[in-house]
């Protein structure tokens, strides 16, 4: 239980859910580790996690479009981590010291609200990053065995390969010609969402691994 508590994320002070999260987190902390409060602690944990999921969805709406600075921060802080830097450096020319060089080489940001991948293949295989930019257009994106958790709003991909990824969010505003995904890693709600997008014609072909 203590490990679960330590994994909870801090509340965003600008979120509508911040006050509710703060109240529940304070109550959870006040209960301590007394076994007599186990049921209430479990209930509070579930409520906090649900509020955090709602907060995440709210933040996704706020971040419909990225600025240039957000691209740079993402490349430096999420993609070029220590675990991934050797692979990234050899493949992308990406480093924490000069993420702008990789951004400028990889993306066309002349229209920041409609970013495009300039290179034939955006290869983020095994990246520890949990997200990719919204409203991104690309011919081919490789995210195999990565930590990517979402297909964001406005995604337009000819081919998107995500075997080994476990998704938590899939936007309804996507256009994907070919999607490869590992079925057994997905929750039922994600599978249903993806299959509905196929029925709507927003995903043309799905290959379940």
Give the pLDDT band (50/70/90) at residue 110.
very high
**Mean per-residue pLDDT for 3-15?**
45
Q: Rounded to whole angstroms, how far apart are CA atoms 185 and 75?
A: 26
**E strand or H helix at 43:** helix 38-62
Helix (H) or strand (E) holding 188: helix 188-199
- How do residues 133-173 score in pLDDT, each as one tens digit? 999 999 999 999 999 999 999 999 999 999 999 999 999 99
For 80-84, 97-101, 105-109, which range has the lowest pLDDT when averaged over its residues?
80-84
- pLDDT bin (cut points 50, 70, 90) of residue 13 is very low
Please name which of 148, 123, 138, 122 lies closest in space to residue 174, comparing C-alpha atoms. 138
Residue pair 66/115 in contact by the 8 Å Cβ criterion: yes
């Amino acid at each position: 239980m203590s490990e679960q508590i330590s994994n909870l994320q801090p509340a965003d002070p600008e979120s509508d859910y911040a006050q509710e999260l703060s109240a529940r987190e304070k109550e959870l902390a006040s209960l301590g580790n007394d076994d007599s409060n186990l049921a209430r602690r479990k209930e509070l944990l579930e409520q906090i996690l649900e509020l955090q999921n709602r907060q995440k969805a709210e933040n996704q709406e706020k971040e419909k479009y990225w600025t240039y600075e957000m691209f740079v921060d993402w490349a430096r802080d999420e993609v070029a981590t220590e675990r991934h830097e050797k692979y990234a450096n050899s493949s992308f020319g990406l480093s924490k010291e000069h993420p702008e060089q990789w951004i400028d080489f990889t993306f066309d940001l002349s229209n920041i609200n409609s970013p495009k991948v300039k290179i034939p293949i955006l290869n983020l295989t095994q990246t520890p990053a949990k997200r990719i930019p919204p409203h991104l257009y690309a011919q081919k994106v490789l995210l195999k065995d990565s930590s990517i958790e979402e297909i964001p709003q406005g995604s337009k991909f000819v081919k998107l390969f995500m075997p080994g990824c476990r998704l938590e969010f899939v936007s309804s505003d996507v256009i994907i010609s070919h999607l490869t995904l590992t079925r057994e890693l997905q929750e039922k709600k994600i599978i249903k969402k993806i299959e509905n997008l196929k029925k709507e014609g927003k995903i043309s072909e799905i290959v379940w691994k």
